C-alpha cells in the first residue's frame, strides 16, 4: 500500500523557521496528553556563535503527526557551558498546538507553558543541539 508523503515528510526537505510553525493549521490538543505526541527532529541551527562576550545560541524545531494533522514545536536554546545547553526562555515555545483544558476551554499562553515544557523535556533535543555545535551547523 502506497501513501502520499505527509506534510511532516515534506517539511524535512525544506527549510523551516521557528516562527513559520505558527502559520501551520492549528491543532487542538487536550492538555496532559503530550505523551501521545511523537515528535521528530526537523532542524537545529546555531544562530549566534559564542565568543568571550556572549554565549552560543540557536533554535531547534520538532514536528510530529497527531490525529488531526501536523504539530510543531520550536524554541531558542543557549549554551551554558561545555556540553550544557538550556532553553533560552521556557515561556517562549512556538507551536501550532492549541491546548484545551479539562472544561474544553482553550488554555492561555501562560496556562499552556507548563504542558509545552513537558513536551520539550521529553524530547532528546540536547543531543541534537550538541550535534549542531560539534558540526558547526545543523
Listing DSSP states for 118-138 in one string gives HHHHHS-HHHHHHHHHHHT--
pLDDT at 137 over 60: no
Domains and CATH numbers, the chain: 7-135 (3.10.450.610)
Give the lowest-confidence range in 13-27, 91-105, 111-125.
13-27
pLDDT at 138 over 50: no
Mean pLDDT computed over every residue of the chain? 85
pTM of the prediction?
0.82
56: Cβ–Cβ under 8 A, 6 or more apart, which residues?
46, 48, 49, 50, 78, 79, 133
Report pLDDT for 2. Answer: 32
pLDDT band at 34 (very low <50, low <70, confident <90, very high): low
H or E segment and range at residue 101: none
Segment 56-99, tens digit of pLDDT? 999 999 999 877 789 999 999 999 988 899 999 999 999 999 99
Amino acid at each position: 500500500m502506497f501513501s502520499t508523503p505527509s506534510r511532516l515528510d515534506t517539511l524535512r526537505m525544506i527549510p523551516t523557521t521557528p516562527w513559520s510553525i505558527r502559520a501551520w493549521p492549528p491543532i487542538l490538543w487536550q492538555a496532559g496528553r503530550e505523551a501521545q505526541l511523537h515528535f521528530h527532529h526537523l532542524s537545529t541551527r546555531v544562530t549566534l556563535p559564542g565568543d568571550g562576550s556572549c554565549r552560543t545560541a540557536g533554535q531547534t524545531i520538532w514536528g510530529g503527526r497527531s490525529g488531526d494533522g501536523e504539530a510543531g514545536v520550536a524554541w531558542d536554546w543557549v549554551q551554558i557551558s561545555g556540553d550544557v545547553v538550556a532553553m533560552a526562555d521556557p515561556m517562549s515555545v512556538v507551536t501550532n498546538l492549541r491546548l484545551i483544558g479539562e472544561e474544553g476551554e482553550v488554555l492561555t499562553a501562560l496556562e499552556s507553558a507548563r504542558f509545552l515544557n513537558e513536551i520539550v523535556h521529553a524530547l532528546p533535543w540536547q543531543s541534537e543541539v550538541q550535534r549542531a555545535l560539534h558540526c558547526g551547523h545543523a
